[in-house]
Amino acid sequence: MRLTPEQLAARTRRNRALAAVLVVFIILVFATTILKLQGNSDEAAASAARQTAAQGQ
């Protein structure tokens, strides 16, 4: 099946838009993961500090 130039151009535009959306999605998932990791490590540090303070008393 041969695509007409119009169909080909529309498909190319859709593919580019899809690629852009996927890149944005990957960035968002990455950013979310980093934020969660940061939150967990902050929590772990706070917990360790509390434990140290409790042992010192």
Partner 1 sequence: MTPPAAAPAVSTAQPEDFFQLLKPRVMSLVIFTAVTGLVVARGELGWLSSAIAILCVAVGAGAAGALNMALEGETDALMRRTRGRPVAAGRVSRNDAMTFGVVLSLFSVMLLGMATNWLAAGLLALTIVYYAGFYTLLLKRRTPQNIVIGGAAGAFPPVIGWAAATGTAPWQAWLLFLIIFLWTPPHSWALALYSAGDYAKAGIPMMPVARGAKSTRLQILLYSLVFVPVAIAPGLTGLGGLIYLAVAVAGGLGFLLMAVRLWRSRAGDQPDKAEAVGREAALYDVRAEAKPARNLFAFSILYLMALFAALLVESLTPTMSL
Q: Is 45 in the site for partner 1 (CB under 8 A)?
A: no
Rounded to whole angstroms, the Cα distance separating 16 from 43 reads 41
Q: Is 50 in the site for partner 1 (CB under 8 A)?
A: no
Specify the residue for token string 């080909």: 8
Specify the residue for token string 């980093």: 34
Q: Is 40 in the site for partner 1 (CB under 8 A)?
A: no
Q: Is 37 in the site for partner 1 (CB under 8 A)?
A: no
The residue type at 47: S
Binding site for partner 1 (CB under 8 A): 1, 3, 6-7, 10-11, 13-14, 16-17, 25, 28-29, 31-33, 35-36
